[in-house]
Amino acid sequence: MAEHESLEFGKADFVLLDNVSMEEFMANLKLRFEKGRIYTYIGEVVVSVNPYRAMNIYGRDTVEQYKGRELYERPPHLFAIADAAYKAMKRRNKDTCIVISGESGAGKTEASKYIMQYIAAITNPNQRAEVERVKNMLLKSNCVLEAFGNAKTNRNDNSSRFGKYMDINFDFKGDPIGGHISNYLLEKKCVNLDFICFFFLFFLYLLTQLLRGAPDSLLRSLHIQKDPAAYNYIKVGGHIKVVHSVKNTQTYSESSHLTSVKLSLQGNLTFGVDGDVTLIENTKLVSVLRELLSTKEENVEKALLYRTVATGRDVIEKQHTEQEASYGRDALAKAMYERLFCWIVGRINDIIEVKNYDARVHGKNTVIGVLDIYGFEIFQNNSFEQFCINYCNEKLQQLFIQLVLKQEQEEYQREGIPWKHIDYFNNQIIVDLVEQQHKGIFSVLDEACMNVGKVTDEVFLQGLNGKLAKHAHYTSRKLSPTDKNLEFDRDFRIRHYAGDVVYSVVGFIDKNKDTLFQDFKRLLYNSSNTVLKAMWPEGKLSITEVTKRPLTAATLFKNSMISLVENLACKEPYYVRCIKPNDVKSPLLFEIERCRHQVEYLGLLENVRVRRAGFAYRQTYPRFLQRYKMISEFTWPNHDLPSDREAVKKLMQGCGFDHDAAYGKTKVFIRTPRTLFSLEEQRAEMVQRIVLFLQKVWRGTIARMRYRRMRAALVILQAYRRYKVKSYIREVNRRFKNVRSMKDYGRHVKWPTPPKVLRKFEEALRSIHSRWWAWTLIKGLSPEETLQVRAKVACLEALKGQRADLGLQRAWEGNYLKRDSPDTAASFTLVSSELQRKDKFMRVLFSSNVRKINRFHKAEDRAVLITDRHLYKMDPLKQYKPMKSIPLYNVTGLSVSPGKDQLVVFHTKDSRDLVVCLQGMVPANESRIGELVGTLLGHFKSAQSSHEPECSFNLSYEFFGKAGINFASDRRSGEKHGYRLHA
């Protein structure tokens, strides 16, 4: 049952009462009202008590608490019943309706607003623009209809003077896509067209909030004064009857939409008599009226003062008496009010109706209906409107009895479920009293209206007395002469389900007939205003044309009620029963007797008894299995038991709910909502597991499909790559097939562009080819040429990119003293031969004239001879006499500059560096630095000596342990550096 409320607030569900009695029912209702709990359950019926104050229980946080919850998961609330109706519609694809009933002032209209607000709030999580438009139209249409159809009564400040049934259409996803509004019996007794000049624009003015804020120029153009007191028909006895709703302080921004106006029976347009002629006293209003009705002034005056009557082919204009003119004026006011209201409803329906919906494409269009209709009324003077309103409530009560009480008991008997019969009042007898053919009150009223000659309300009452004299629920003063509460020839009493009501027959005949003269219909049909013209289509009929008698107001209303009940009966109903706690609109006062009377006529106590004796839920076996079969292993996915009944029984036993269920012939019955809630919980859990299983299977299928596609793509890719590799290899083979016979051994051959996967392979191939090409070139060289090639390679490795001219393009002679100084060549040859004999060197590596710089920074001409064992410094002026001999193994490095100079520094182990500058070259601009570096490096590499000099760029040197200066600097970067060969 209802949870999450402490017992200090009473029982949240009347079904939980210890004893089902009126005293306990009222005590629980009073306690909850005083504790601020205005909603209470009777099973799935919500009992609502008007709090007469604003309550913070309708916000977004409250919506989230009830969204998607089962009915009994949260405390009683309108949102719970609205969510239940929405879920039933969405889950079972079935139309539902919410019937809101109760007397005037019980809060039915507010309840319908909150229900629509909730339905709008829980739909469409994606907030699509079209759905939002429909929601806003559905909600805002309430304001428009209230502005025109509500009024102050002595029981309610904002009473609905019309009945409204709204269908909200939903698509298969549960999003609202449109709606339709039906209105019933707009009460017109509060309207009188004393002067249409104000009436017709008054409501439009009210609707657009002009009454309190329009500029004077606009008011003048509309012929409207800002002060409502200037108009007789909106004041009674000198008092203005403009009353704002209870929510006025909160919603005055919508002031015109929520304002009810009581129009008086007095008018500004009056008539007088001059002899036998009836005249309009305030003729200026006729011209204003002509302008507002967009017609001719003479036609307006003629319609007000004359009536055109056709007798055969003759047409007669009959002048009205003063009384007849006033009667016609009043009838026109009421008719315009009614048709304007119906036109507004039609316009709203045009906007909110479902458009471009194809059930074959979009699925079934489901509906939630919300009925907000006038409540049962008992006034001091009850006329035709109250009679129709109370008849409507009788029909709705009969529907409630049939659906909730009578059908409940009959279904148990039909299904063979043990049941204790509960007595209840069946008000079908009262419904028949009103609507039965030939005997009902409506039939007697219609017969009286169709009689020829002068028909009065007294004649109608006599007809009632004649046909209903023996009816237990009807009486009059003639039938009960001693009952002084009834007036002779005026009153009759109906014993309704809600209590006895005395009706006055005064005005029944006039209100039932179509009392508007045809002249007014033709006048308005011929208006140049297209809206007015569309409201009066029958005005196009010729004066002499014979037509059928129009249906009376009673017959139209009876037909609409029958249609409404049939519409509700085909939907799954949910009920909100509204109770008015007091007549003074106090948020603190709870009148026991006042509320007891409403509880009695609403049949709430009988509802509790039926609920206590019956079952909360019932469903046919196939539909039950369809929803819950996944819970049991015996029924999922399909059962093999003898029948669906046995399968459902097995399912309930497996879940441990067999004690709370009964099994009928075609349906399973579940006693408590908690069991149904537990079934829903288990189903939700299993649905989640089933969804996960389906997702797993589907994802596996998708993965296998992707794997097959990827594998196929990989096979294609591998084949393509093999093709590209083979194509590349074939192309390389084709291009380099004859390189052995080529003059440059394929050096000029352009390599084909390889695929990305073979780029490293191409690099390897290029390296192999380069090595083969180099080996092919050097394998035919002499030993001397081989040494020279190695020296050049060593030079290139050490100095590539560091000096502009390395002398690689010329042949390296090595021993240049003989060529550069032919005059002294003989002396050099003699000295070198003597040194070879003495030091046993094998060959001369390098020789050249140099300019030597000593430790005192003085330059002297010298010669350098480098053999494979020593470095000799010679004096060329003394027949190349050796001045210094440095073993090569003492040479630790060689430094050169990056410029064009020929400066060389030989670094030694004893730090006595030799600094020279090559000179005397023939030709003069020949660079020999590269040859010197390459020859030394080549020598050490060919000798495979571990003592191999290293190249650097530091040109610093030392003499006898003392640091020297830097000889050169890189002019590009400004850094002092050179080449240094380190051992």
Distance in angstroms (rounded) separating the CA atoms of residues 38 and 16:
17
Beta strand pairing call for 96-101 and 366-372:
parallel
Q: Does 637 sit behind a cis peptide bond, omega within 30 degrees of 0 on the bond before it?
A: yes
Q: CA separation (Å) from 532 to 268, 526, 537? A: 22, 9, 10
Vertex 214 angle, CA 210 and 216, to 5°: 140
Distance in angstroms (rounded) separating the CA atoms of residues 656 and 837:
121
Q: Counting beta carbons within 10 angstroms of the beta carbon of residue 265, is it exposed (0 to 12), middle (13 to 18) or buried (19 or more)?
A: middle
Question: What is the token pair recorded at 657?
Answer: 């709910």
Question: What is the token pair recorded at 870?
Answer: 């020593």
How many other C-beta atoms are found inside a 10 Å radius of the C-beta of residue 653? Answer: 14
Known binding-site residue numbers for ATP: 102-109
577, 102 Cβ separation under 8 angstroms: yes
Question: What is the token pair recorded at 766?
Answer: 């290029």
921, 928 Cβ separation under 8 angstroms: yes
Distance in angstroms (rounded) separating the CA atoms of residues 219 and 221:
5
Distance in angstroms (rounded) separating the CA atoms of residues 653 and 663:
12
687, 630 Cβ separation under 8 angstroms: yes
Question: What is the token pair recorded at 699?
Answer: 């994802």
Question: What is the token pair recorded at 287?
Answer: 């011209």
* Residues linked to residue 369 through DSSP beta bridges, in sequence order: 97, 167
Distance in angstroms (rounded) separating the CA atoms of residues 879 and 785:
31
Task: Give the DSSP H/E element, type plus range, for residue 446.
Answer: helix 441-450
Using DSSP's 3-state secondary structure scheme, residue 314 falls into strand
Distance in angstroms (rounded) separating the CA atoms of residues 401 and 43:
15
Look-up of token digits 């009493």: 493
Vertex 662 angle, CA 659 and 665, to 5°: 155
Task: Give the DSSP H/E element, type plus range, for residue 280.
Answer: strand 277-280
Three-state SS for 655-723 is HCCHHHEEECCCEEEECCHHHHHHHHHHHHHHHHHHHHHHHHHHHHHHHHHHHHHHHHHHHHHHHHHHH
Q: CA separation (Å) from 31 to 58, 882, 967? A: 22, 133, 112
Known binding-site residue numbers: 102-109
Three-state SS for 924-971 is CCCCCHHHHHHHHHHHHHHCCCCCCCEEECCCCCEECCEECCCCCCCC
Q: Is 975 left (phi over 0), alpha (psi -120 to 50) or beta?
A: beta
